[in-house]
Amino acid sequence: MRRMMPGLAVIVLAAVLLSGCATSAGKGAGIGAAGGSLLGAGLGALIGHQSGHTGEGAAIGALSGAALGGGAGYAVGKGMDKNREQDAAINQAVLDANTVTVNIRNSDGSFTPVRLVRQGTTWVGPQGEFYTAIPTEEQLRQRYADRGLR
């Protein structure tokens, strides 16, 4: 058992380092577990050395450090993921607040949606044209009715 403990610590550390995660929470857990494992192994080896059990101390320290570091890293990464989601929602809300769609009736009764985006005090159409106010359906009909958005 004494000879297996350092090997177990190396296997755990390698598994943590080689695992890939797509989220910040996953990455944080991996980094935290790796760092905690290294620090725990070092501290455990020092403590274990004093009692003549360096290998066991390193293994126990590595496992404990990986668990604590992984948990802490996950918590930090989870917060980063949540902030990223909130930022995306805010950006989408701002875009939605500055976007208007005017439906232009075509001669066959169908509609062509024309998306206008506010930039400062002007509105920009899909073809890059500028308007000082939201254009009327009649203003847009000349450019977009029966033609679609080219």
Q: Are 97 and 108 in contact (CB under 8 A)?
A: no
Neighbours of 149 (CB within 10 A): 13
Inform me whether the pLDDT recorded for 29 exceeds 70: no
Average pLDDT over residues 30-36: 64
Which of the listed ranges 60-64, 80-84, 121-125 does the model predict with the highest average pLDDT?
Answer: 121-125
The domains of the chain are located at 4-90, 98-144
Query: So what's the pLDDT on residue 1?
Result: 46
Tell me how far apart the alpha carbons of residues 33 and 69 are, in angstroms, rounded to a whole number. Answer: 5
Average pLDDT over residues 102-124: 92
List the beta bridge partners of residue 111. Answer: 105
124-149, pLDDT tens digit by residue? 999 999 999 999 998 998 889 876 55
Tell me how far apart the alpha carbons of residues 147 and 25 are, in angstroms, rounded to a whole number. Answer: 48
Local confidence band at 94 (pLDDT 50, 70, 90 cut-offs):
confident
Query: So what's the pLDDT on residue 150?
Result: 47
Tell me how far apart the alpha carbons of residues 94 and 79 are, in angstroms, rounded to a whole number. Answer: 23
49-66, pLDDT tens digit by residue? 566 666 666 666 666 666
pTM: 0.43
- For residue 136, the 8-state DSSP code is P
Length of the chain: 150
Query: So what's the pLDDT on residue 82?
Result: 80
* Helical (H) or strand (E) element with 111: strand 111-119
